[in-house]
Each structure stands twice: as structure tokens, then as C-alpha cells.
Amino acid sequence: MFGQLNKVSLRDIWPHEASDFTPWLAENIEELGKALGMDLELTEQEASVGDFSLDILAKDLGSSKAVIIENQLTQTDHDHLGKLLTYAAGFNASTVIWVSEAIREEHRQALDWLNQRTDSETSFFGVVVEVIQIDNSKPAFNFKLIASPNEWQKNKKRQTQRNSISTKGEKYQNYFQALIDILRHSHKFTSAKAGQPQNWYSFSSGISGIAYGANFAQGGKARAELYIDLRDHDKNKYVFDELEKDKLSIEAALGETISWERLNDKRASRLALYTDGSIDDSDSELETVKMWHIEKLLKIKSILGKKIVPLSKQANKL
């Protein structure tokens, strides 16, 4: 009645850690983010820290803070623990992720201890990657979270630090918390779980350097956007210009006019939609803005999501 579940050796899938597993993990960083409840975006592979080289440097789109990822095809060891702390300091990382075939108990305890002793803005994760198959089916991977911040303790620390967050910052945090919860639960739009005390929130598009965004802009305006920053001025302008060539059909599909913001004096560009809205609005007014953000973000993704994939590939060839 049931098939037999088998674990596949990681070496059978990825013979070499540096040349096989690390590139694969970089390409599937969104899946790793889902296991952690984050929207992760790749920044760099083999990022230099003095004489050492970090496997993967990423960014948490929700906070724009650095994330470091060190991976192993074997069980965890002391050498990689030392490297992990070195890289965390070198990149001033807020999130530290250790991915391996197995996590030794003493290393799990070390990660738990670090989570207990560090501030509420620093998190350590231990993740086991496993490959499984049923009978002779195609193998499937799975990320299993083994060590993570104790949310009760982290939340307790946040309460003691609440006074350091302005009243407006707390309003932003509450607004975006509600927004991402609906986008995650009802629309599978994001993996993010934590709102931030800031006037913007970015969401993964699946392409490193291009993100969807919800913002409160100056002048009492709320904005939903496609933000283009491939970390190169010419590449960004290429993607923007190619999209603008299709302006009529994009706006027809969207059902409204887009603000085409090339931002010539800046590296990045964006396509934006605006409505009236301020974080100081009443609760009922903010509820209207939140529903507007959700509607527009879903439309932007639906209409532009497929267009940006080939354009980003072409841009990276420039």
C-alpha cells in the first residue's frame, strides 16, 4: 500500500561541496528561506573575509540585513563553527545559517547558547539538508530546522528594548506584520514572518537584485513597486528600458497607469503605483491601504513576474 522511504547520500547528488553543493544552494536560496520563514536573496558566492571565503552571502529582504550561510556535506565540526563566527563578525551579520548533513549535539547546544546570549537582532540557525525518495521515485530535498532562536526569549528581549523603537517605528512594524501575515497565509506570496520598524518592506521576486516592495513614501503616499537593483547601473537601466518598451500592454493588463521611475541619477530604477496613505492614518484608513498594497503586489507579480526573468538574464550578459 505504501512505498518505502529511503534517504539518499548527499554525495550521490552533490559529489563536491564547493563546486556542486554551494552553487545548488545558492540557486535554491528561496527554498532555504522558506524553511526559516524569511525572504532570502543571494548577494555573493565565495565572499572574501580576509584570508577566508564565506560560502554564501545573502540578504534578508525584509530587513535588508546581511545573512551568512556556511554549508557542509558532512556533519558539523569545530572548524566550521569557528569560521561561522569569523564570517558573522566580518559581515556584521544579523542572521547566521549553518547548513549540513547532520548537526552534532554539542554544536546544536552551541547555537542555542548563542541565541540565548545575543541580542534580539541576531539569530543563529542550524539546518540539516536531506535527500529522500520513495521506492524508485525522483529524489527530493528537504531542509530540516534543527536549531533556531527561542522565540519566547527573543520576544522577551524585544519587550525590554521596546523603548528604543519610536512610536512611529512600532506603527510601521505592526502594519507590515499584518501585511506579510496575509500575504504569506492567504496568497503564498512570501516566506517572511517578521515585520520591521521601518517604512518599507521588500519581497523576493525569485531573481537576485529585483524585488517587489510595499512602502510609505513622502507626501502622504503609499507605494507598491517593482524595484530593480542588479548592483550595476547599466544593467538596471537596461531592464527598466526594456519593460518600458512594453508600457502599453503592461498598463493595459494592470488596468492603470504606472509611474515609470528610471532614476537616472541613481543606480536603481523602479516601476511604481501610488495611493493616498500615511502610517499616521486611522486604523480604518490603514486597513484600506493594506488591502490596496495586497491587491497591487499580487497584480505586479502576476503581470511582471515572467517578464523580468529573461530580461535579467539578458542584462547579466551585458
User: Where in the chain do CATH 3.30.1460 domains reside?
Assistant: 165-315
Q: Which CATH number is 165-315's, of 1.10.357, 3.30.1460, 1.10.3470, 3.90.1200?
A: 3.30.1460
Distance between CA atoms of 33 and 314, rounded to whole angstroms? 26
Predicted pLDDT of residue 318: 84
Strand partners, 48: 53
* Three-state DSSP state, 206: strand
Predicted pLDDT of residue 156: 45
Distance between CA atoms of 71 and 21, rounded to whole angstroms? 8
Predicted pLDDT of residue 165: 57
Element (H, E) at 60: strand 52-60
* DSSP at 57: E
Cα atoms in the Cβ-side hemisphere of radius 13 Å centred on 26: 19
CB atoms within 10 A of CB 58: 26
Helices in 118-161 by DSSP H: which ranges? 151-160
Distance between CA atoms of 172 and 198, rounded to whole angstroms? 6
State the Cα angle at 122 between 116 and 124, rounded to 5°: 70
What is the phi-psi region of residue 5: left when phi exceeds 0, alpha when psi lies from -120 to 50, beta otherwise? beta
Residue by residue, pLDDT tens for the chain (318 residues) are 788 888 889 999 999 999 999 999 999 999 999 998 889 999 999 888 888 889 999 999 998 899 999 999 999 999 999 999 999 999 999 999 999 999 999 999 999 999 988 877 789 999 999 999 988 889 999 999 999 887 644 454 454 454 455 688 889 999 999 999 999 999 999 998 888 889 999 999 989 899 999 999 989 999 999 999 999 999 999 999 999 999 999 999 999 999 999 999 999 999 999 999 999 999 999 999 999 999 999 999 999 999 999 999 999 888
Distance between CA atoms of 107 and 117, rounded to whole angstroms? 15
Helices in the chain by DSSP H: which ranges? 10-13, 22-27, 29-36, 78-90, 105-117, 151-160, 167-187, 233-245, 247-254, 283-315
User: Where in the chain do CATH 3.40.1350.10 domains reside?
Assistant: 5-157
CB 60 within 8 A of CB 122: no
Give the strand pairing for 123-134 and 95-100.
parallel
State the Cα angle at 193 between 141 and 299, rounded to 5°: 90
CB 123 within 8 A of CB 115: yes
Per CATH, the number for 5-157 is 3.40.1350.10
